Structure 1
């Protein structure tokens, strides 16, 4: 979702420029990867590293070993990395040691929770990146507080929203909610995949129980991440009838389910942003978020994990729905600003 609009914007701004797409293989499940390439119109990767599985250290090390020959072979002017996954930091470390300039898209986001692998990945990548392309002013301030020079920081907006805006016609034509017998505004969309929520059987059981109680008010549709399904099946959790488990969906169908939902319950980072743009109330089941602007300006609320906390937040949401406000520069043109920055065109530093 983050790369597709950047590829389009660079091609439009510099038709003669060369781009090389590298897929590390970190997101290896066909339903979680291939379908997004199709829906987003991404070209076939020029290089596929095939790295999946293993511990965080193993995965990061294997990506570095596989990526170094790719970088040496192609000698790019820029390495563009996005987000905060292991691939982000692994490829950045290789580039930094080889002297290849790094541009980090979604720079500056901070949860201030170093128990999250993503937080480590974000901080390390930002420390070695040459251009820090941020989605919002709070991310700029995080970088300034860490001593990053202002001339390396560019507030370009949220590239996730670019994909959403670009895909809105297809999203609006999708009829997945009708296929599932769901009435717009009368169901809850749920996603859970973070280890802290799904790897702990006690916590997962509590959250499933809470979803069951919420489903007595509104039906719950739950596209199940492969990791989460494995945990549910291994522990034999009883899933209430009104909580409908479905397979992971493609981008258009998932976003359609989100757009028509009465509320979303998630532990995802990107979903917090997408619900904010769409104006859909969101309960994020995490102790912290690296996207606080979705709370201060968006439709997101943070919920400490646990059955009682989630049920209390659900009850409060029924009484006081959030105000709908979208942050500045979440306008579908972030990738154009990113392209201008990479091509040396005029983009104001933050």
Structure 2
């Protein structure tokens, strides 16, 4: 049983790590299974990719397609050309893709045209917002996938509602939480902790990268100003995504409590989240981690593809409306933020369920 595993961007590495570890465990137990890891190069900043392999104990990829930056079309085309050659030279029994980045969609298209079956980890989630590139990637990927591994019953029900055969849908849980639980004992205090005089529960972690929030200077500066006003002087730690760096250089804003830092490796970033007063973000995956760690989370979006982080976790959608942001901060300051409730199958065993199912499917 030969599996080609695709990773292309920061969230992918956290999702493939437990799957690789489970495959290796099954190999040691005598299972006939092997994998080939392909890095598309969609994220090429060393702190967004290379350090993750070392921190999460993932082997160096067998192949890096080195696609790098470009428009959506340029990245998609570059990945497809590179991955087509990879499959021709190293044909697998199954291609496994994770998440919703461009690499996920592009490699799924190539695999299916090469008549190779595809397994999609984190299938079925939807935000309902087709202005997001990730939403298009999800829709396209799930329209042609063979095995659907979902993080929630809601994702499974959505797939059934659009005609996906029930027997192809497998509710396995969340591999991101596998990685979180496997590495909590290894998280590390960042080197700047003392220099910025940080203290647990007395600072915020901020991440912004959605095009709607960071592509227009006026919208970006307005949102950032309002966040910092509500922080009331508390440090706001902002690991700056590559797409946001230029925008920061173009603004003349200066805030004493805003600390822009380099993108962090996984172990340092989770340390920051675990000890934060709250997480301020427009990401999806971080809302999952904050929820499991029971850290208040304010999301600057109007929709989410991870509703369980709202109904059972610590996440609240505040959009970019100043009044909604103000209300959320008042709730936080009053100590009235909601607490995490147990989320079904977010138990650290998702990768085990995935690999067990794959072996059952290919047990001849």
- Shorter-normalised TM range: over 0.9
- Report 1:62-77 matches (<5 A): 62-77=78-93
What residue number does 2:299 align with? 284
Q: CA deviation at 1:57?
A: 1.4
- Report 1:42-57 matches (<5 A): 42-57=58-73
Which consecutive aligned stretches of 4+ in structure 1 deviate over 3 angstroms post-superposition? 172-180, 306-309
What residue number does 2:10 align with? none
Consecutive unaligned residues in structure 1, runs of 5 or more: none
What residue number does 1:275 align with? 290
Work out the CA distance in 2 between the residues paired with 1:146 and 1:176: 48
Work out the CA distance in 2 between the residues paired with 1:237 and 1:156: 47
Contact residue 161 and residue 332 of structure 1 kept, 8 A: yes
Does residue 313 of the first structure (1) align with residue 303 of the second (2)? no
Contact residue 221 and residue 251 of structure 2 kept, 8 A: no
What residue number does 1:264 align with? 279
Secondary structure of residue in 2 paired with 1:30: coil
Q: CA deviation at 1:345?
A: 6.6
The two structures have a TM-score, normalised by structure 2, of 0.91
Contact residue 209 and residue 307 of structure 1 kept, 8 A: no
Q: CA deviation at 1:307?
A: 3.9
- Report 1:131-280 matches (<5 A): 131-171=147-187, 177-178=193-194, 180-216=196-232, 218-233=234-249, 235-280=250-295
* Residues matched between the structures, number: 345
Contact residue 264 and residue 283 of structure 1 kept, 8 A: yes
Closer, same or farther: CA 108–243 of 1 in aligned 2, 3 Å: same
Q: CA deviation at 1:219?
A: 2.1
Contact residue 124 and residue 155 of structure 2 kept, 8 A: yes
Q: CA deviation at 1:308?
A: 4.1
Does residue 90 of the first structure (1) align with residue 103 of the second (2)? no
Work out the CA distance in 2 between the residues paired with 1:122 and 1:229: 27
User: Could you tell me which of 105, 108, 131 is aligned with 1:115?
Assistant: 131
Work out the CA distance in 2 between the residues paired with 1:68 and 1:159: 27
Contact residue 211 and residue 220 of structure 1 kept, 8 A: no
Contact residue 281 and residue 297 of structure 2 kept, 8 A: yes
Consecutive unaligned residues in structure 2, runs of 5 or more: 1-13
Q: CA deviation at 1:53?
A: 1.4
Closer, same or farther: CA 298–112 of 1 in aligned 2, 3 Å: same
What residue number does 2:340 align with? 324
Aligned-CA RMSD value: 1.7
Higher RCO (CA < 8 A, seq sep 6+)? 1
